[in-house]
Structure 1
Amino acid sequence: MCGDDMAAAGNRAEIIRSLFAAYLANDRASVEAAFTADFRFSTPYGENIDKPRYFAECWRDSGWIGRHEIERIMVDGVEAFVTYRCVARDGKSFRNTEFFVFDGDKVSRIDVYFGPSHQDGELVRQER
């Protein structure tokens, strides 16, 4: 990786870290500013959700989260994966991986892949 590529990768990793911090702080304005106008979001519950719908239906108060533990961020050009553990205030936790696509220094797409939930070191069966 040449110097410019390494700097871009480092910057994109920092953008991801900043997004996680903004989400934890309920800083919606910072999250909105980090997304492109044509941002798309996908999870197992919905595909290609646009930016207005994301904030109307997916954004929620993060007061239930105790902390995020970012385990790894891997950046390859304009794409990145982040794997993290989210620990809720009630002690439950889960691990997810998210795939990011960047357009410059803004996020144009996030695809979320849900991992299992745990409590007290044990797998918690997901309810529907």
Structure 2
Amino acid sequence: MEDLIKNYTASASIVLQDNEALAAASSGLREIFSRSVINEHKEKVRNHFQILLKLDEQYTKHLSPQGTINELSMKSAQIQILSQARSMFVGAIKNYESSLTELEGQFQFKVSTTLAIVAILISILLTG
């Protein structure tokens, strides 16, 4: 169970690093107009969800503990810690996914705005 807790917390840390990388990448001039940054991070989100599914398979095995009252009390405390670690990982993924969705919306807005400006310029050039 301790290894599972470590895996959840380590995975949450990796997601936070990826989220920071997304924020840094979205601030560069070239990256503002680059769809590849968004696609790269979408793939990372998918990978994080795959890791979550694999860890959750192990997680569910710990949800039906057996033993004496003392053992059950100890396992209950461990399960609470495990659940907190899992929640931290899930929360990190949700925040990352939310940041990615927001960035994608900004990207779409910038593309639409750029196309509108180009259309206006072409119209001015053709009529002038």
**What TM-score do you get using the length of structure 1 for normalisation?**
0.31
More helix per residue: 2
Larger Rg: 2
Question: Which has the higher relative contact order, 1 or 2, with Cα contacts under 8 A spaced 6 or more apart?
Answer: 2
- Higher strand content, 1 or 2: 1
